[in-house]
């Protein structure tokens, strides 16, 4: 596509990002609290749970036996994927995610290429995610 051409048209739209985990309900509750998105199927005994945002896309959590979480930033098992979550205040957001069950796994206040800062955490199943604060 050229800079003067029409915007690219995708084949579809993102519906879900699916995370394998040992306990789908527990991880869905964690991300529901983190993002403020409701659980769409809150049955804790199901092997699949979803949360959806106001625009329709969402996260799904799929139960997997013998789930092995990433060890990133170590070399053993790569991060596989991560979510960047924009927040207004890193300190307030950090307190909320730690209270919800996250673990801090990186040094605080790393600087991204645009001058913003971010902090790295693992969700209760070990998947990494970042809280990001844009530069002012």
Domains and CATH numbers, the chain: 1-66 (3.30.720.120), 68-136 (3.10.180.10)
Residue 3 has pLDDT above 70, yes or no: no
Distance separating alpha carbons of residues 12 and 56, to the nearest angstrom:
13
Predicted model pTM: 0.74
What is the Cα 7 distance to its own chain's centre? 28
11 Cα distance to chain centroid: 24
DSSP bridge pairs for 85: 131
User: pLDDT grade, residue 8 (50/70/90)?
Assistant: low
Q: What confidence tens digit (pLDDT) does each residue in 42-73 have? A: 777 888 899 999 988 899 998 999 999 888 88
């Amino acid at each position: 596509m050229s800079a003067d051409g029409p915007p690219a048209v995708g084949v579809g739209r993102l519906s879900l990002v699916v995370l394998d985990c040992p306990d789908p309900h527990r991880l869905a509750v964690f991300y529901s609290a983190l993002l403020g998105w409701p659980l769409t199927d809150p049955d804790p005994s199901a092997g699949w749970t979803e949360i959806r945002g106001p625009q329709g896309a969402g996260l799904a959590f799929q139960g997997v036996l013998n789930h092995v979480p990433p060890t990133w930033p170590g070399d053993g098992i790569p991060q596989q994927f991560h979510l960047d979550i924009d927040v207004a205040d890193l300190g307030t957001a950090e307190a909320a995610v730690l209270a919800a069950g996250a673990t801090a796994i990186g040094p605080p206040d790393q600087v991204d290429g645009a001058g913003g800062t971010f902090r790295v955490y693992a969700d209760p199943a070990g998947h990494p995610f970042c809280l990001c604060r844009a530069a002012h």
